Chain A
Amino acid sequence: MRIFRRIALYAALSLAALTFIYPFLWMASATFKPRGEFGSLALIPEHFTLDNYRTMWARAPFGRALLNSTLVATTITLSVLVFGSITAYAMARLRFRGSPVLNAATLAILLVPGQLTLIPLYTLIVQLGWTDTYAALIVPYLFNATAILMLRQFFLQIPQSLIDAARMDGMSEMRILFTIFWPLSKPVLSIVAIFTFMGSWNEVLWPLLVVREAHLMTLPQLLTVFALGGGAGSVGVSLASAMVLVVPVVVAYMFLQRNFIESMAGAGIKG
């Protein structure tokens, strides 16, 4: 009886896992199939071809989009880590006027749905003359309330004696943060880094609003425009363009699953 139940459990888990993995495998294999074969359930293409990738690469600036996405997501992640830490350090460990207000404001913006400020932010970007610039994609994301709260929470737990000793040695607050706090904060820094990077990498609504020029588009945006505008022309080509976005993420995910899950689940609950 016990053994049968065990087998049934693993069979059910395998079926569930297959439901989540198979569509992506099918997608990957479809990109190597010629036009006639897309409907097939088989994962190994009968006639292997790279034409979908060639067409995709020739028809839209996906190389440039990959560069844009990497640049935007990396800049935002670095900023959220560095400036977020500086802010969180001040909020957690320094007494100054305005600290309670900042804290309350940070909690409050987490409660406001992004759609409320979407249009005013967009008109702001237009008035600043930032449409079709990297600034429009990056500047509104330079700080992140969830990240600041997480870092602040972590910084609160570091013993005061470390700060006191460092101050006796004449260290500045910035040096205390980056030479004493940061090495102790690797777990929370990696959590913040992953969800910030992934959030930016996958974001599509904001770029759709502020960028119209193809060579400034991020990957998910170009992918959407390409698929909707009929530029792809076939399933294989449109899925091949999706692969540019997916492959780096899946490779990183395979090596760092535990960190990804901890980070993206944690941020979702906090945010």
Chain B
Amino acid sequence: MRAEQRSGSLMAAPYGLYLLVFAVYPMVFAVVLVFLQWDLVTAPTFAGVDNVRLLAHDGRFWRAVANTFVFLSIHVPLQIVTALGLAIALNRQLVGRSFWRAAFFLPVVISGAVVAILWSNLYATDVGLINRVLVRIGLAPVPWLTDPATAMPAIAVMVTWKNVGFYVIIYLAGLQYIPRSCQEAIELEGASAWQRFRYLTLPSLLPQTILVITLSTINGFQLFIEPYVMTGGGPLRRTYSVVLYLYTNAFAYQKMGYAATIGVALALIIGIVVLIQRRVIGKAEAL
């Protein structure tokens, strides 16, 4: 018993130490930094609630938050529809099922930096692949990343494309849990394909849909490398993301207190948005 105690403590000690230094301390210090002004060169000074007051009136920060909501309003629904559609298509006897699955999952394993660089070229106005195709079928080219109206939607579509394979796997797992007997029963009742989808598949997949909504929302708030590489936050700051703003404050302006304040605010906003989503979905389910 004593020996077990001792080896247990010894074996867990490095992780305990790691948690203290790289998890607990940064979390506590994040809150401390909110009240400091610090450029990392001179000594930090106490700033009271200056950072918070500044943030509350910082048009750039709220622009970034608003941009994120634009991003989410396109990304989340599109992600659900595409992932669900592909998962349903895959959920049957198919030749080469693992090939299709692997093809859809491919962009998930590729670095976001590479995907951003690749898609800047696909979206390029004059020589981009997408506009070449549009012109070939007789449409006008679109300035995807340079028009303030299309830049954020273009990024949202790209991120949906990159992550869809991941959500397909979630939905596929959910589809496997729908009991065969239920499927047979509803088919015997003479339900159409749409009715089967609407009254059996969709309600059965509610837990997966909630997961997709939560994960893609959190992911959306953490948008960074895409605008950093593709647009630099422009045009007219329409693709500026919260993390890009945080990074700029830390890296370019050396404002550690303010950058940390943005980080704390972002964590709070994510928490609130996810809670509200859960609430709304819970209410909708009860109806």
Residues of A within 8 A of B (CB): 9-10, 12-13, 16-17, 19-21, 23-24, 26-27, 30, 38-39, 41, 83, 86-87, 89-91, 94-99, 102, 105-106, 109, 112-124, 126, 139-140, 142-143, 148, 172-174, 198, 201-202, 204-205, 208-209, 220-221, 223-224, 227-228, 235, 238-239, 242, 245-246, 249-250, 253, 257-258, 260-261, 264-265, 268-269
Contacts and interface: CB of A to CB of B under 8 A. Distances in A.
B225 A224 contact: yes
**Nearest 6 interchain pairs by C-beta:** A96-B8, A94-B8, A117-B26, A120-B26, A39-B127, A90-B11
Given A209-B247, A224-B228, A87 B33 contact: no
A118 B251 contact: no
Contact of B263 (A119, A258, A264): A119
B229 A94 contact: no
Contacts of B228: 224, 228
A221 B106 CA distance: 21
A204 B111 contact: yes
Interface in B165-223: 165-166, 169-170, 211, 215, 218, 221-222
B121 interface: yes
A15 to B, nearest CB: 11
Given A105-B19, A119-B250, A264-B166, A96 B102 contact: no
Given A13-B89, A20-B107, A105-B24, 10 more contacts: A16-B89, A86-B11, A94-B4, A98-B9, A115-B246, A120-B25, A208-B247, A245-B111, A264-B166, A268-B166
B42 interface: no
A223 B263 CA distance: 26
A41 B129 contact: yes
Given A116-B266, A205-B224, A173 B117 contact: no
Contacts of B242: 115
A268 B110 contact: no
Given A90-B7, A96-B12, A119-B260, A246 B29 contact: no
B9 A96 contact: yes
B14 interface: yes
B139 to A, nearest CB: 15
B251 A208 contact: yes
A119 B121 CA distance: 32
A256 B251 CA distance: 38
B97 to A, nearest CB: 10
